[in-house]
Chains A and B, each alone.
Chain A
């Protein structure tokens, strides 16, 4: 079962802080699902992915909620 990280109603910088913390106790190849609605979430997450060299598997929007699936690569 994939871990779902709920970042709905959280503002900058909390979504990336929480993602970073959640990935700390994961191993390479693990996935997590993140839900958020911060309007800057997409651009921030993409920058975070590039910087930390993890990968973004999917990114979807429905009813103003973003759902991202991240794979731990490092």
Chain B
């Protein structure tokens, strides 16, 4: 059949099938997922700044804390007793909460973060604990890796009372991040 002889009926069918195809194309969604793997103060700060900034731009943001990053959400109090010996060892060695995180460079046995905090006060830069508050206020979703909590020996009641905090595994994270942008920090 030549092009000239297409009937209106055929055109409509073609149009409907194309419309159907377009509707099935996955839309890129305005969402950002950050994998906070590092427990270093500088990297955690960068994660929070990007996360809160993106939330302010109207993006749906999810923070997924795994491995060393789990320290950020820990309370700064002594650990619970009912743990395995090795979990307790991790508990002793790991930073006690977001205020005790080391720097990834120039840590100088803890003097580096102290100097950094002095500078941050002078320049009125938001600290990690302030950014944690801001992030909750911006309705950012928090997820913490269940497996990392077991490995690091972190009990649920050792975590900060954070709004929108849930425990999950990799499948849930992949579902959340699907169709958006993901950063690994």
Minimum Cβ distance to chain B for residue A38 (Å): 10
What per-residue 1/0 map shows which CB atoms of A16-52 lie under 8 Å from chain B? 1101110000000000000000000000000110011
Residue among A11, A17, A20 with the highest chain B CB neighbour number at 10 A = A17
Q: B168 contacts the other chain (Cβ, under 8 Å)?
A: no
B123 contacts A13, C-beta separation under 8 Å: no
Kindly specify which of B6-14, B51-59, B99-107 makes contact with the partner chain.
B51-59
Q: Which of the residues B49, B52, B56, B124 comes within 8 Å of A19, measured between beta carbons?
A: B56
> Considering the chains assembled together, what is the distance between the CA atoms of A19 and B138 in angstroms?
12
A10–B49 alpha-carbon span in the complex (Å): 13
Nearest residue in B to A51 (C-beta to C-beta)? B57
Q: Considering the complex, which residues of chain B in the window 15-70 have a beta carbon less than 8 Å from any beta carbon of chain A?
A: 49, 52-53, 55-58
Q: Mark B67-100, 1 if CB is under 8 A from A, else 0.
A: 0000000000000000000000000000000000
**B94 to nearest A CB, angstroms?**
28
Distance in angstroms between the alpha carbons of A70 and B62 in the assembled complex: 28
B124 to chain A, nearest CB (A): 5
Interface contact A17-B58, CB-CB below 8 Å: no
Minimum CB–CB distance for A2 against chain B, Å: 21
Q: Are A16 and B57 within 8 A (Cβ)?
A: yes
Q: Which residues of chain B are within 8 angstroms of A47 by Cβ–Cβ distance?
A: 57
Q: In the bound complex, what is the Cα–Cα distance between A11 and B49 (angstroms)?
A: 10
Residues of chain A lying within 8 A (CB to CB) of residue B125: 11
Tell me which residues across on chain B come within 8 A of A48, comparing CB atoms.
56-57
Given contacts A9-B124, A12-B49, A12-B53, contact A21 B58 (CB under 8 A): no
Distance between B54 CB and nearest chain A CB, rounded to angstroms: 9
CA distance A19 to B123 in the complex (A): 20
Q: Is the CB of B52 within 8 A of A17?
A: yes
A14 at the interface (CB under 8 A from B): yes
Measured CA separation A42–B137 after assembly (Å)? 24
Residues of A within 8 A of B (CB): 9-14, 16-17, 19-21, 47-48, 51-52
